[in-house]
Each structure stands twice: as structure tokens, then as C-alpha cells.
Chains A and B, each alone.
Chain A
């Protein structure tokens, strides 16, 4: 059945391109891991060494203890966690309203949420710097939590709408026959069934907030408040020749987002197609 020409086609039109693209996609990650595990002396040796020998964790220890990545990590985690909780909570109700309710101005509201995807952070940094300045929130994580929530809420609400629509409405009707209020029905029947959607939304917003750079760069001024992206940028400035340290810092910043990605990737195709926004 499977002829020689079938296999030739399979190899040249499927396996070979897959392997080549995968090498291109994986190489930067391999190189960063490789560099993070090497002594600086080995990194700058020519010809280039492709595998760390001997491998060392010294760069991670230095990055974490001496350079301040423990602090940056805690700050990033704090901002991300608080933002994710707020975003997820609000997106349940917004997504629910979009899925279940008919109301005047619904289209205007949808349009409003879509426009947020088109407003560049670069355009917003000047006025937001002034606004947060007036609110005494510069160099305060609260400003990052507020703006991250604002930027992420639209996409995640649209995502949540899809998850809510997947829950049969009969369940809420049954609950309200049993004497449950509308809000009660949401809490007792919808939210438990929404759990996979909740986790997916949380993971999506986590990646977005975790990776945010420009606002943090503009608003955080003291080192003790830096998040990981800003911390990394500072490392370039100060330890410009220390590749091992940069690589180790990169891995520290990369692992949480990558773990979230591995979890949410089964929602990625349906989720991004539903929301159609945010790269």
C-alpha cells in the first residue's frame, strides 16, 4: 500500500522541513541553556565548545544571590500573581455578560475591548507616567498591576466568553428553579464547570504580565522594585561581558513562562482563534 514514492514525499515534504524548522526554533534555547551551564573561561574559548564540560551552576548561584535575581523574581511573581487573580476574577463576569446577556451597548463595549489591542504601549507611557505620578504610584508595583490588568482584561474576557458559552444554560435555569439567585447560580453552577477555562485564562494572563517590559521599564525606578525583564536589561549594562550570568538570568526568567505555556498549549489554538488577539 505505502509505496516508495509515498515515503519519499513524506520525507521531503514533511519530516525534513519539520526537522529543519525545529532546529531553527530550538537552537536559541539550547544555546542559552548551554551558556548558562558553563564557566566564563570556557564560554570565551575558541574554537567554540558546544556542550558544557564541566557543567556548573555557578552562574545561577551568582545571578540569584549576588546580582539580585532572587529579588527580581519575587517582584515579577508578586506583580504577576496579583494581576492574574484580578484579571481572572473580572474576566469571569465580563465573559459571562458577553456570553449570556443581551444588553444595550454590547457592540460598543466589544469595540472598546478590541481597540485596546491596537493601542501601543509606546504611546501610553508618557500620559501614564504623568497619571501614575499624580497618583503617587510611580516606582510602586500597584501601577504595574493596574496597567497589566487593563491591558490583559479584554483578551481574557473574550477568551472566557468562549468557555462560558460551552456550559449548557439549562444548569443555571435548574439552579434558579431551585431558588438560587442569578449571582448564586453563577457561583454554584457556572464557576465549578468553568475551572479548566479559569486555569487557561490565568495561564494566558500570567504569560502576558510576566513578559511585560515597557511599562515596568518606565515606571519602576529603584532596583528593589525591578521585575525580571528590567533586571535582565540592567545586567546587560553592568555585566556586559558576562555571558554565563546573562544566560542564567535568562533561564530564570524563562522557566515560569515556559511551564505555563506547556500547560496552556492545548488551549492555544482554540483560544487564540477565539480571541484573535495578542501575540
Chain B
């Protein structure tokens, strides 16, 4: 590019490029908007959360506001039962969501990787929940979960699977599972898309070669498909774990964390502390703890899966 004729008079005279022709200057100019936005509206707030965790800041009780030292954190770990239960629920929520989404997403991707008629249409149908928000997912499933006029009870009763109408979103035995199913419905496309993208890059030659060697479908899946998918699966699972751990839209609009806090995940608890209790100090301390948990998880997970280290 340097061989090109420089049009501007200054650059010709001095032999130096004008600022707007210099690559590094342009690069910094171009990335300035995201850098500024991220610094001001993401990094500064995160620092602010860490700071606020060490403060008493409660909009309901402003007279106790002030420096708190480790009070909030000591409280969280020593006498906050909700924190403990919410952590367990978060764990159940994330494990169930991610594993079910992965299994069904993988099945959908493997199915869509075949050639068949109307594949484009089928793919559109399979992927559309990706565009549905958590709030809308909550609305749609809420209607179906209704105790008396809900279609799920009607169908299960017709097939004789249950004997009486179940209050899916109020019954302690079923509520978490019910919310998880709605979440899985919405999360399948993400995994299916990530896995399908990788599947499409596996060359057909490898399968043909293994056909010659007389490999069975299962052998092909275990020895060819799965190893190829490993990186995608590790990455998708990590992203989704973080995402589901942090997600509140669906829970908030389907059960609001109830009944009796049975669907209050840690993130739900943080939001409730911030929004309902307006206890910003304690909420910030909870957010800090939750952030550290996620960070530790991500580090351990990437180490354990040896991400980016094979071949």
C-alpha cells in the first residue's frame, strides 16, 4: 500500500503521512467509541459494584448509609439463608438448563445436518425461539401452564398421564422443572446453531473413508463427529452457563422467584435485593460474590477442558 501514490500535498512534501492516513491513528479513532462506552458504562459500573459492596446503601433506610467494611460479605456467608438456598437453586437451574439444551441442541443439529426436502423451512422453525425474548417465553408458557384452562394439563389428562389438574407454577414439586422446560425450549436453538456451524465444516471425505473401513454410525459419531465438535461444545457450554446463571427475564416473569423462593436463583436474589428491597449496598456485595463465583468457574472450566490446547 505504501507504494501507492500519495494524493495529499503534505504527505508528498514531508514524506510523512497525514494523521488520517496513518493506520494506527485510524485504528484508535475507529475503536474509540466502543472503548469509551465499555469503559464508562461497563467497567466503571463494575468497579462501582465492588466499591458499593463495602458500603451500607439502602434507599429504604438511608440513615444507616456509610462505610460497611466487610459487614455485607460477612452477612452473606454467615447468616443469609436465602443466599445459600439461591446458590443451590442456581446450580440446579444451570446444570439442568445447559445439559438439556446441549443434548437437544446436538440432536437438532445432527438432524439438520442431513439432506432432506424443505430443510430451509425446517431450520427456520427449529431456530425461531432464538428470537423470542425471556419475557415472551414466560408469557407463552404461562398460558400453557395454567392450572384449569392450560393446555398442558388438558393433554396430560387426556392421555391419562396425570389424574388431576396440576398448578405447575405454584406447586413446589413442579415449579423449578416447569420453568426449566420453558428455558430449554428457548435455549435449544443456540446450541443447535453453534454445533451445526461446526458440523458443516467436517469434510465428507473422513466419513467416506470410515465407511470403507466399515465403521458403524455410532463409531463414526464417537470417533469423528464428537472430537470435531469438542471446541464448539466447550465454548457454547461455557457461554451458556454464564448466560443462564445470569438470566432473570424468564424466571422473573414466570414465577418472580416464588413460590416460597423455590425459583430464586442467586441472580434473581440480586435483582430482588436491588429492585424490591432497594438495598444497593447488600445487592452490590451479592453481585460481587456472584461475579467471583462465575470467574472461578470459567477459569477452572477452561483449564479442565484444555480449551484451545489440542492440535
Contact = CB atoms under 8 A, between A and B. Distances in A.
A179 to B, nearest CB: 4
Contact of A257 (B27, B131, B253): B131
Interface stretch (A53-61, A62-70, A193-201, A258-266): A258-266
Contact of B139 (A43, A97, A246): A246
Nearest to B254: A236
Choose among B29, B42, B44, B104 the residue with the greatest number of A CB atoms under 10 Å from its CB: B42
A124 interface: yes
A212 B134 CA distance: 9
Interface residues of B, number: 96
Contact of A276 (B4, B146, B194): B194
Contact of A126 (B52, B133, B232): B52
Interface in A243-269: 243, 246-247, 249-250, 253-254, 257-258, 260-262, 265, 268-269
Contacts of A232: 135-136, 139, 253
A79 to B, nearest CB: 14
B140 A28 contact: yes
A211 B129 CA distance: 12
A54 B275 CA distance: 43
A268 B143 contact: no
Interface string A234-247: 00100000010011
Interface in A123-174: 123-131, 146-147, 149-151, 153-154, 157, 173
B131 A207 contact: yes
A113 interface: yes
A273 B198 contact: yes
B41 A181 contact: no
A25 B129 contact: yes
A51 interface: no
Given A101-B23, A207-B131, A124 B45 contact: yes
B129 A243 contact: no
Contacts of A22: 122, 125-126
A126 B30 contact: no
Given A28-B185, A120-B267, A94 B33 contact: yes
Interface stretch (B71-79, B222-230, B280-288): B280-288
Contacts of A119: 42, 46
Contacts, number: 277
Interface in B229-250: 232, 235, 239-240, 242-243, 245-246, 248-249
A85 interface: no
Nearest to A262: B124
Contacts of B125: 22, 25-26
Interface stretch (B81-89, B106-114, B171-179, B301-309): B106-114
Given A182-B26, A272-B193, A126 B33 contact: no
Choose among B31, B114, B127, B235 the residue with the greatest number of A CB atoms under 10 Å from its CB: B31
A15 B116 CA distance: 9
B262 interface: no
A125 B287 CA distance: 10
20 contacts: A15-B116, A28-B140, A90-B34, A103-B28, A116-B42, A126-B52, A127-B284, A131-B45, A147-B41, A153-B33, A176-B4, A181-B7, A211-B135, A213-B135, A214-B248, A229-B135, A247-B143, A260-B131, A279-B187, A279-B240
Interface of B: 1, 4-5, 7-8, 20-21, 23-24, 26-31, 33-35, 37-38, 41-42, 44-46, 48-49, 52, 104, 107-108, 111, 114, 116, 122-137, 139-144, 146, 148-149, 151, 154, 185, 187-188, 190, 193-194, 196-198, 200, 232, 235, 239-240, 242-243, 245-246, 248-249, 252-253, 267, 270-271, 274-275, 280, 283-284, 287, 290-291, 294, 298
Interface of A: 14-15, 17-18, 21-22, 24-29, 31-32, 35, 43-44, 46-48, 90, 93-94, 96-98, 101-104, 106, 109, 112-113, 115-131, 146-147, 149-151, 153-154, 157, 173, 176-177, 179-183, 207, 210-214, 217-218, 229, 232-233, 236, 243, 246-247, 249-250, 253-254, 257-258, 260-262, 265, 268-270, 272-273, 276-277, 279
Given A123-B270, A211-B132, A232-B136, 5 more contacts: A21-B108, A120-B267, A126-B274, A214-B248, A273-B232
